[in-house]
Amino acid sequence: MKITLKDGSVKEYAESMSVYDIAKDISEGLARVACLGVVNGEEVDLRTVVSEDAQVNILTAKDAGGLSTLRHTASHVMAQAVKRLYPGVKLAIGPSIADGFYYDMEFETPLTSDDFGKIEDEMRKIIKEDLKLERFTLPREEAIAFMQEKGEPYKVELIRDLPEDAEISFYQQGEFVDLCAGPHLMSTKEVGKAFKIMSLAGAYWRGDEHNKMLTRLYATAFSKKEELEAYITMMEEAKKRDHRKLGKELGLFMLNDAGPGFPFFLPKGMVLKNTLLDYWRELHRKAGYVEISTPIILNRSLWETSGHWDHYKNNMYTTVIDDQDYAIKPMNCPGGVLVYGSESRSYRDLPLRMGELGIVHRHEKSGQLHGLMRVRCFTQDDAHIFMTPEQIKDEIKGVVALINEVYSLFGFQYHVELSTRPEDSMGSDEDWEMATSALQGALDELGLPYVINEGDGAFYGPKIDFHLVDCIGRTWQCGTIQLDFQLPQRFELEYTGADGEKHRPIMIHRVVFGSIERFIGILIEHFAGAFPTWLAPVQVKVLPISDKYMDYAQKVKSVLDDANIRAELDTRSEKIGYKIREAQMQKIPYMLVVGQKEEEEGKVSVRSRFAGDEGARDLEEFIAQVKEEIRTRQAREVTVQK
């Protein structure tokens, strides 16, 4: 039997071997840290026996798949601990997720965070017991009866939803048995000591608000304690940066029960939003885009032609006008297609880059709403590029360059995913293959590293997704480039080629910010509300030492206003120390303190968020510095006081 390993090397064995034994044959060290086997592309338990020639990869917790397996096993350990402590609990689902795992459960009495320590202690006992995780299967009806006997109605429902001929698999560790497809670690001991229960929340069964509300217990696990400690530190920092908390404190936006998922932008938030949009317009004008605006409501026949009615209707808000069905747009693209088709086009007009800051509405379930990150109404910085086949790669490269310029400005690193055809899609195999190859080819020519995300493309075409990394290491999916052969066909778009014949254009959908609202939420957390001067809603706060110097302070503010610097004047009869602290709490980049000396000398005393007390300056000199900082959109570094 020949086993081909991840590095391309080949090992020969005279008889069948388990994945674990193959790992042990490679090295004892690998066997100790192995979490998961991948045999011919299929994820399997380490005790799975390989009996014929195969490609075998062995993953550890350093690999995403290996870490996911460790966490999935930890979720079973947590469920077992809960069952021991609360025998009447009913179990739902317990998957691993991006930053840990959770388990949804129905408790007889409410669980609180005070119970976390008790559950963690029981988990440690289970881990110490070194219980083997053993897989077994049952026929469908026996599986249903088995779970009914154990009093697990949610498991019974899950089994009933499986295909008639499905193999129903379970994992057992000691007295605990769970319905699960796996894979898992070989023993509870391998989960280790680096785990922690993080929080609890309510979660509707199967995400449906008409179902029972369950308790979702969130936790995480790592292979090393220092990794867990680093994660906990990051989460503590994330709480301080929560955009919902800072948005309220800084007066940027509000949420109200009158419109769940529909954010209200306050005056300072509108300054922030409009500054971003001004930057967007400047950037796109330089890149050769024209701006359009399309209606927010369009009739059903348009959405049927575009395919959204069949593929996206459950996320759309609909209404009836003059006895006809209409939908509030969830996406801007059909409107952009109508603009393209409104007049005859020649190959000389292409590529045609049309940008739109369009307001869209999408129905999100109430349990999924989250501040500005997950809303029902948002502004999407869309653009649709119509082009010839020969222009595809250059246009993709141009969009990548534009996205890179934006993310670099804010200090974001990013990684790229290429998402391929989903199950629910439209179009021919040939079109999908051509579109996917075009995106892949552009990325290869750019030398941009990427990973393949199988089956996660849009229903009309494959896409490139940009996942940016903020200053505390979290990732956010924002920018995307989607190549579409389908809408131009469905709407019968044309252009006249150099040969005088009619041809079908190809279309790119792309966003840079994505949702403006979500991007603002990300920026709030990335900068912890301390925005670069060019982006700050208030750039300068003028602070008179007492009411005697209010007239001079007002003159200073007027000069700042004339220089188009966003300034506020603190007119309160408070002590100067209090005013300074308040301005610091509001994360304002610059404070200008004015009193008798400043008025007599015609100067201002500058305090900054970056370096503290910067001394007395001529006002014009200060204005010139700030205007240059705004013009270049450069961010000053904060000086660390030692």
86: three-class secondary structure by DSSP? coil
Catalytic residue, candidates 384, 490, 587, 607: 384
| 184 a catalytic residue | no
pLDDT digits (tens, 9 = 90+) for 481-538: 988 888 999 999 999 999 999 999 999 999 999 999 999 999 999 999 999 999 999 9
Distance CA 77, CA 120 (A): 10
Query: Is residue 362 among the annotated active site residues?
Result: yes
Lowest mean pLDDT segment, chosen from 74-88, 89-103, 479-493, 541-555? 479-493
- pLDDT, residue 414, reads 92
Determine the average pLDDT of the residues in 173-200.
Answer: 96
On whether the CB atoms of residues 4 and 54 are closer than 8 A, the answer is: yes
10 Å CB burial of residue 600 (0-12, 13-18, 19+) is exposed
| Domains annotated on the chain, with CATH | 2-60 (3.10.20.30), 65-240 (3.30.980.10), 272-294+347-526 (3.30.930.10), 540-632 (3.40.50.800)
Q: Is 361 a catalytic residue?
A: no
Structure tokens at 38: 């991948």
**514 phi and psi, to 5 degrees?**
90, -115
- Look at residue 37 in the predicted model and tell me its pLDDT: 93
Instruction: State the pLDDT at residue 639.
Output: 60
- State the average pLDDT over residues 7-16: 86
- HSE, CB side, 13 Å, CA atoms: give it for residue 536: 29
Residue 642 has pLDDT above 60, yes or no: no
Whether 641 is catalytic: no
634 secondary structure, DSSP code: P
Is-catalytic flag, 243?
Answer: no
* Interstrand relation of 176-179 and 195-204 (parallel, antiparallel or unpaired): unpaired
Residue 447 contacts by C-beta under 8 Å, 6 or more apart in sequence?
none
Lowest mean pLDDT among 243-252, 422-431, 438-447: 422-431
Strand partners, 419: 453, 463
Contacts of 640 (CB under 8 A, 6+ apart): none
For 103-155, how does the pLDDT look when each residue is reduced to its tens digit (9 = 90+)? 999 999 999 999 999 999 999 999 999 999 999 999 999 999 999 999 999 99
Identify the pLDDT of residue 479: 92
Active site (annotated) includes residue 313: no
Sheet holding 590-594, edge to edge: 567-569, 540-544, 590-594, 603-608, 612-618
Q: Is 382 a catalytic residue?
A: yes
Residue of 382, 431, 470, 570 marked active site: 382
pLDDT tens per residue, range 433-484: 888 888 888 899 888 899 988 888 877 788 999 999 888 888 888 999 988 8
Of all residues in the chain, the percent with pLDDT exceeding 70 is 99
pLDDT at 376: 96
pLDDT above 90 as % of the chain: 80
User: In this predicted structure, what is the pLDDT of residue 638?
Assistant: 67
Q: CB within 8 A of 109, min separation 6: which ones?
A: none
For helices 267-286 and 392-409, the axis angle rounded to 10 degrees is 140
Q: From the candidates 80, 173, 380, 486, which is the catalytic residue?
A: 380
